[in-house]
Structure 1
Amino acid sequence: MWGDLLRRGPGRIAGVVAVAGASALLMGCPSYSSMTTAKAVTPGQFEIAVSPGATGLSYSALGGTSSENDGTAVIPNIDFGLRYGFHERFDAAFQISGWGNFGLDAKVNFLDTEYVALAVDPGVNSTFVSPGGSTAGFVQFQIPLLVDLAPTDWMRFTIGPRYIGVSTFSEGGGSYQNFAGGSLGIEFIVSDLVRLQPHAGVATWLDNLDNNAALFFSAGFAVKFRVGEPYDKPAPSRRPPSESPSESPSESPSEPPSEPHRLPQPVPLP
């Protein structure tokens, strides 16, 4: 589907049709950024995420480089996610992106330090659309590498370079397309149970690098809530450890017990 539309040459799609085709694509497109970080959700807790935002596409890729087809199409959307922490280094999520795109992902954290964290978060999502009245759909694979940089204990930057593979199918056949992209998110820890994360991402078509207009993008503002009692202790705080209890003053070396004071005994008379 994507490949068929992206390969059409100049003049094959008029400007209005290009916008319609782009809009049809965006209706089922997932987000190209992440509503999560490289750190796993605390074991035993759910994280519920709601992210209003928008997804866009440069539709000059659909109709060549002629001026009448040049531009972008943007559709507002809202993403939902439910993530559960299974282990201090592993969590998984179910997501609904855009207008009917369903996906699953599983995140494995393999480095978690005070200031840096690394994880891979492979996922798969799928949807069905009807561009031009013909039924079509796609299955998309995303393999992001999430890199966390945490300068403070209340803010965390998440960088996410990723590979994206798209298998499309329609009444006329199918194809497989390769994309590469990246994302940036900034998580603000409001409390133990609430986090805010603005995020944005882009993806470009690798099978035709000469077509610079083949660019997808998305952005959103995620509000995330933690629910449930953790069955593991929370991650240590970045605040300086409290001072250890003051030690009792050392006792001076014990002195030998003094002899009891004795009064002089009277001298017996002869």
Structure 2
Amino acid sequence: MRAGVSKQDLTRWLGFAAVASASALLLGCPSYSSMTTAKAVTPGQFELGVSPGATGLSYGALGGSGAGSSGMVVIPNVDFGVRYGFHERFDAAFQISGWGNFGVDAKVNFLDTEHFALAIDPGVNSTFLAAGENGAAFVQYQIPLLVDIAPADWVRITLGPRYVGLYAFSNNESAYENFVGGSVGLEFVASKRIRLQPHAGLVTWLGDTQSSSNVLFSAGFAIKFRIGDPYEKEPPPPQAARR
């Protein structure tokens, strides 16, 4: 048993891990990185995204201990998302992560300059598994702060420190756990309507701050398509001088 963790807390954690991992392995895994930047989608426009990648967790996060708990469980997945711009500083998205994890988020941009942008992008996602009379599910809350740095007009770096809260339940058992971590993404301009964004994220359990073995992570390569107007609209032609 880990120092500073009571038997009740450990039992609670193991129950949570069993539910979360079973849901993850059989249905779908949430992403701990962001398939977006701090900039809001242009009002009235859609952005579609697909991101092949993987999500995983350490054996320590499954409750393992000892020399054999240093490995990782990695599950390949494909994330799909659609994002719509409601305002020049606000957009929202619906996303399917893995093979059965559904989520929504709403992004609010506070600062948007040529080389720097800042936004908060809270969201929630969930997975449910039913087998006969038994069921298991988790609901995950994420609150990332997105920080954009654009050193050139063809690339944008997005940093995403975040809090993650995970509520897991199975029949009459439930648990709520807290995680903190961060993500990084690099968005490249491929064309006026296409952006490429490799991204990765990692969070660790706050229940055992003395150990780095309780880790959840994800990574992917997003291809994002603009529907409607291109990402950067051409300026209107100058009007002919009036005679």
Asked if these proteins are the same fold (TM beyond 0.5), I'd say yes
Residue deviations 1:99-133 (CA, integer Å, cap 9, x gap): 200000010101001100000001011111369x9
1:7 maps to what in 2? Answer: 13
Separation in 2 of the partners of 1:63 and 1:130? 23
Q: 2:218 maps to which residue?
A: 218
Partner of 1:206: 206
Q: By how many angstroms is 1:4 displaced?
A: 7.1
Provide the C-alpha distance between the structure 1 equivalents of 2:134 and 2:223, rounded to a whole number of angstroms: 36
Matched AA of 2:72: T
Report Cα offsets for 1:107-164 as digits up to 9, x if no partner.
0101001100000001011111369x94211111100000000001110000000011
Q: Could you tell me how far 1:43 is from its partner in structure 2?
A: 1.4
C-alpha change, 1:8 and 1:234, in structure 2 (3 Å) is closer
Aligned equivalents of 1:170 and 1:125: distance in 2? 17
Counterparts in 2 of 1:98 and 1:194: CA distance versus 1, 3 Å:
same
**TM-score (norm: length of structure 1):** 0.75
Q: Secondary structure at the match of 1:7?
A: helix
Contact 2:196 2:222 in 1 (8 A): yes
Please list every run of 5 or more consecutive structure 1 residues that lacks an aligned counterpart in the other structure.
Answer: 238-270
Name the residue aligned to 2:148. Answer: 148
Instruction: Give the match's secondary structure for 1:30.
Output: coil
Partner of 1:52: 52
> Which consecutive residues of structure 2, in runs of 5 or more, have no partner in the other structure?
1-8, 236-243
Contact 1:115 1:150 in 2 (8 A): yes
1:113 matched to 2:113? The reply is yes
Q: Is residue 25 from structure 1 mapped to residue 24 from structure 2 by the alignment?
A: yes
% of aligned pairs identical? 63
* 1:36 to partner: Cα distance: 0.2
Identify if the C-alpha distance between structure 1 residues 235 and 121 changes in structure 2 by more than 3 Å, giving closer, same or farther: farther
Output the CA distance in 2 between the equivalents of 1:106 and 1:32: 16
Distance 1:184 1:6, change over 3 A: farther
Which residue pairs with 1:265 in the alignment?
none
Corresponding residue for residue 164 of structure 2: 164
Secondary structure in 2 matching 1:175: strand
* 1:266 equivalent in structure 2: none
TM-score (norm 2): 0.83
Distance 1:98 1:6 in 2: 26
Structure in which a larger fraction of residues adopt strand:
2
State the distance in 2 between where 1:49 and 1:5 align: 39
Aligned residue pairs total 224
- Quote the Cα distance in structure 2 between the aligned partners of 1:127 and 1:179: 18
Farther-moved stretch of structure 1 (220-229 vs 166-175): 166-175
Q: 1:21 to 1:43 in 2, by over 3 A?
A: closer
